Amino acid sequence: MSKITLYGVDISPPVRACLLTLKALELPFEYKVLNLAGGENRSPEYLKLNPLGTVPVLDDKGTVIYDSHAICSYLCDKYAKTDALYPKDLVKRAGVNQRLFFDASVLYKSVWNVAIGFWRSGHTVVEKEKVDNIHDALRQTELLLEKSYIAGDTLTIADLCCAATVTSMSLVFDIDPQQYPKITAWLARLGQLPYFEKFNNVGAKQYTGLMRSKWTKVEL
């Protein structure tokens, strides 16, 4: 049994961000898939790890962390052989952190505002305001992609976290490559990573397919 254990589900964008980071760092780990529909994340055992009952959770030989951005930065600080994914230079790190906070407060929020209905009642309500929020988040992402990657010229955990969320935005509509050419090129670039298809795109397609199948009301 590896000393690093990640708890989660493939459809979760934050879980996929952690999976991508673990693969980028070439770390051995055990992946424990939770049965969310069966309430496994609300079991007493799991709530001891994470009282919020959310995914992902990382258990690194007794060190427990349960926010994806905190998990990814922790893994880099502890295990990375270089600081390429999470720079130690304070200015560069601030740039990466800004994108991580952008993912949490803008990108993921716009997705969650749509998905929350599914997790609460099993149905997804798509309203114009929620669709507009996703477009606003994508437009801001397009502005931030001034270079090849979201935080500069090289791959960082900001790309892995933001991309896991952006690829989940198709829960409402397909991302138009003409409307968002920089995002399209960026995702294609990340798609060349040997682990990106298996540890992100497969789960993202499952997530968006599930959400679209549960639409109960469309106000576009």
Q: Which of 2, 12, 43, 170 is catalytic?
A: 12
For 29-37, the CB contacts below 8 A with 24+ separation are 29/2, 29/4, 29/5, 30/1, 30/2, 30/4, 30/5, 30/6, 31/5, 31/6, 32/5, 32/6, 32/7, 32/8, 33/8, 33/9, 34/7, 34/8, 34/9, 36/9
The CA distance from 9 to 55, in Å, is: 8
Give, in order, the Cα–Cα distances in Å from 112 to each of 46, 168, 169, 202, 217: 22, 10, 10, 19, 17
**CB 142, CB 180: distance < 8 Å:** yes
Per the annotation, the verdict on 73 as an active-site residue is no
Q: Could you give the count of Cα atoms lying within 13 Å of 185 in the half-sphere of its Cβ?
A: 12
Active site (catalytic) residues: 12
